[in-house]
Structure 1
Amino acid sequence: MLQCISQDIVNAIDAVSNTKEIIQKFRENGWSGLLEKVKRFCEQRDIEIPDMNGVRRSSRGRAPNNPVTWEHHYRVDIFYGTIDCILQELGFRFNEDAIELLKLSSSLDPRRGYELFSIDDICKLVEKYYPADFSSQDKLHLKYQLELYELDIRKSAHFQHVETLPELCQLLSKTGKSAIYYLVDRLIRLILTLPVSTATSERAFSAMKIVKTRLRNKMEDDFLSSSLIMFIEREIAQSFDVDSIIDEFDLMKTRRSQLKIGCK
């Protein structure tokens, strides 16, 4: 659910908080239940189960200096270790700055009669997270625009049934108010790019691990960039015709060998 591109900002905040809480509860109380399920699975398939109270030996067959039981190994080293890695990853991806960005962005959320609307939070959002997108003059005018914008949207019947930021952005454009509140419209559009930009970055880093492997560690930047584009946008790349690629490549410059049959 956290990776849904269409996830709205308010629900995203709740989803992050609830996910962390569920994982933490599972860490504290989930071991016994998980162990019983694993035992039943092994018994049904005749898989040998080690004595959980027995001492676990090292891979070399000798007892370690500080011997631990099999139960300690599976519970602490694997179960707790895995969950701690997940919680650490969530904390890294959704750190305090990211959560604050989401909370401040929710100030423009139109649901429930714009109850989350806050001029101070919106100005703080621009000042802290979008300083390059608004000039000093824009930041001064933004507060006055927001005061007029708040009165306008609360009185206008057109804006009373809007539920999402995309709908709000479309309605501002449709009614022509995007030209009046151009700074507010710009900020809404910037917020709407958050899920897309995040998803694209994550896909790029994931693709890099696949494309640039240990055996390809000397790959040049241009070739890596082109390969990543083809890998990330492979659905679009699959629609390309091989002949059209050859034609385009052939037209780039004159070559010693002919790429197409029948070329003079």
Structure 2
Amino acid sequence: MSGLNPCESFSKFDTSKIVAFSEMYPNDFSNGERGCLLGDLTVFYHTVKVDDKFKNLGGITDLARAMVETGTHKTFPLVYRVLKLALVLPVATATVERCFSKMKLIKTDLRNRMGDEFLNNALLCAVEKESFLKVKEEDVMARFQAFKNRRGNIF
């Protein structure tokens, strides 16, 4: 991802790193696309290096924004796809890390025989805590009350 850095007039722009990055994702790039990517990166580098709209960019987020504003995301779709993948990757990784961290807290040695459905439901409650805080207790009680006639009311 560091090869995509546009800082200091693309001084850290490295086509070999970017191609190696695309090779880590074979489902997103076919062999033919990876072959075209090297040529596209070279042309892209020489195009944006002389364009004033691509000067003084702070990072790859600014590069993506500048590509969309100038329309170069349509001219260089493979470069833009690599850029989008590099932007999404930290978010996706953080979400997975957070889920595994919550699972480590929920599934302890004492709860090791927990079934998949119960574990999934418990993880959903732990990971999506903000969503569950919006649910009213009265709504939950009314739903359980509607399952089956009880001797007394929960309310």
TM-score by length of 2: 0.83
The answer to whether 1:168 aligns with 2:60 is: no
Counterpart CA distance in 1 for 2:103 and 2:19 is: 37
Offset of residue 116 of structure 1: 0.9
Amino acid at match of 1:106: S
Amino acid at match of 1:257: N
- Deviating above 6 A after TM superposition, structure 1's stretches of 4 or more consecutive aligned residues are none
Offset of residue 246 of structure 1: 5.9
Report the 3-state secondary structure (helix = DSSP H, G, I; strand = E; otherwise coil) of the residue aligned with 2:26: coil
1:73-152 aligned within 5 A: 105-127=1-23, 129-152=24-47
Unaligned runs of 5+ in 1: 1-104
| Aligned-pair identity (%) | 31
Offset of residue 120 of structure 1: 2.0
Match of 1:48 in 2: none
Higher relative contact order (CA 8 A, sep 6+): 2
Unaligned runs of 5+ in 2: none
Question: Which of 231-240 and 155-164 deviates more?
Answer: 231-240
The answer to whether 1:159 aligns with 2:51 is: no
Q: Which of the pair is proportionally richer in helix?
A: 2
Counterpart CA distance in 2 for 1:246 and 1:152 is: 63
CA RMSD of aligned residues (A): 2.2
Residues 76-109 of structure 1, C-alpha deviations (whole Å, 9 max, x = no match)? xxxxxxxxxxxxxxxxxxxxxxxxxxxxx20100
Residues 159-204 of structure 1, C-alpha deviations (whole Å, 9 max, x = no match)? 1021111121122122221121111111111111232222222222
Bigger Rg over Cα: 1
Change (3 A) 1:216 1:149: same
Report the 3-state secondary structure (helix = DSSP H, G, I; strand = E; otherwise coil) of the residue aligned with 1:124: helix
Instruction: Count the aligned residue pairs.
Output: 150
TM-score by length of 1: 0.51
